[in-house]
Amino acid sequence: MRTATERRYGGLRIVEPIALPLDEHLFDDGASLADALAKAVAADLRGAIARRGSARIALSGGSTPRAFLTALSKQTVDWPHVTVLPVDDRWVHPRHERSNEKLMRETLLQGAAAAARFMPLYRPSPSPEAALLPVLSRVANEALPLDVVVLGMGEDGHVASLFPDLGRDSPGLREIGLQPSGRAPALAVRTANAPEPRMTLTLSAIFTAPSLYLHIEGAKKKAVLEGAAADPTSLLPVRAVLAGAPRPPSLYWCP
Ligand SMILES: O=C(O)[C@H](O)[C@@H](O)[C@H](O)[C@H](O)COP(=O)(O)O
């Protein structure tokens, strides 16, 4: 029985096992998951600060992480030494209801955690493409290497703003977004799967973090994830995460 398959990113040849491992943590409900994930992430941040004097964390937005972000805000961390950035953001004003920056300011950046340094991906520019160079420079110079990343996942198997149709109009974007290393740390994205343009970190940036978490809730998302983990021909972005991550992500999930 074949136990490995090959994937190519341009000249890079990735040999990956057929069924990809998952470091799985199952919880009864979102509240107990949020508390456990907040404690684990806070410990990672304290460890990075102890080793290097500072910590950098990239967090996903959307609807799932609200309870986790609020729980993380309450953890004991030396927040002035922490840089927080979104894994991705919608290209909307930071006061817009769909802004991930707005979500993080309302949940995580409260109380003592408000002292953390926040690095937005959104800038007052007409498009993410027009803002890409300054975002690339700031992420590369001030956010990398990351210490912790918490990814969510859509029911279509997207992570960050790396959607299944990435590269449909411009094939090179798929390689930039999903190649495990050696590519630009951020990308401007337009997709049929979301109502607004996006700015997103790429896997090259995401995989700089030694602590990588995948936070999903619901049986449907779990089925999508397991399907991608088991199918070496899957083109879902979450498969590229499982196949390319330097170590299996820690899956925190509840039905
Ligand atoms: O901007 C975003 O939408 C997120 O960063 C994205 O990657 C999110 O993790 C998934 O879309 C899941 O979103 P839900 O939690 O809303 O299902």
Atom of ligand 1 nearest to the CA of 194: 3
User: CB of 1 within 8 A of CB of 228?
Assistant: no
Fold assignment, 21-254 = Rossmann fold (3.40.50)
pLDDT of residue 171: 83
pLDDT of residue 7: 65
**CA nearest ligand 1 atom 13, residue:** 62
H-assigned helices in 96-187: 100-107, 128-142, 172-178
H-assigned helices in 56-151: 66-73, 100-107, 128-142
Which stretches of the chain drop beneath a pLDDT of 70?
1-5, 7, 9, 14, 16-19
Q: Which of 22, 19, 20 is nearest to 1 (CA)?
A: 19
pLDDT of residue 2: 52
pLDDT of residue 13: 73
- Indicate the pTM of the whole model: 0.93
Residues with CB under 6 A from ligand 1: 60-64, 87-88, 100, 152-154, 159-160
| Token code pair at residue 152 | 């969510």
For the CA atoms of 178, 156, 34, 38, what is the dihedral angle to 10 degrees?
10
- 43 alpha carbon to ligand 1 midpoint, in Å? 24
Q: Which of 76, 103, 81 is nearest to 92 (CA)?
A: 103
Which of 64, 84, 92 to probe ligand 1 with, by most ligand atoms within 8 A of CB?
64
Please state, in angstroms and rounded to a whole number, the distance separating the CA atoms of residues 62 and 160: 10
User: CB of 2 within 8 A of CB of 18?
Assistant: yes
pLDDT of residue 21: 75
Please state, in angstroms and rounded to a whole number, the distance separating the CA atoms of residues 203 and 208: 8
- 64 alpha carbon to ligand 1 midpoint, in Å? 7
Please state, in angstroms and rounded to a whole number, the distance separating the CA atoms of residues 150 and 66: 13
Task: Break the chain into its structural domains and give their ranges.
Answer: 21-254
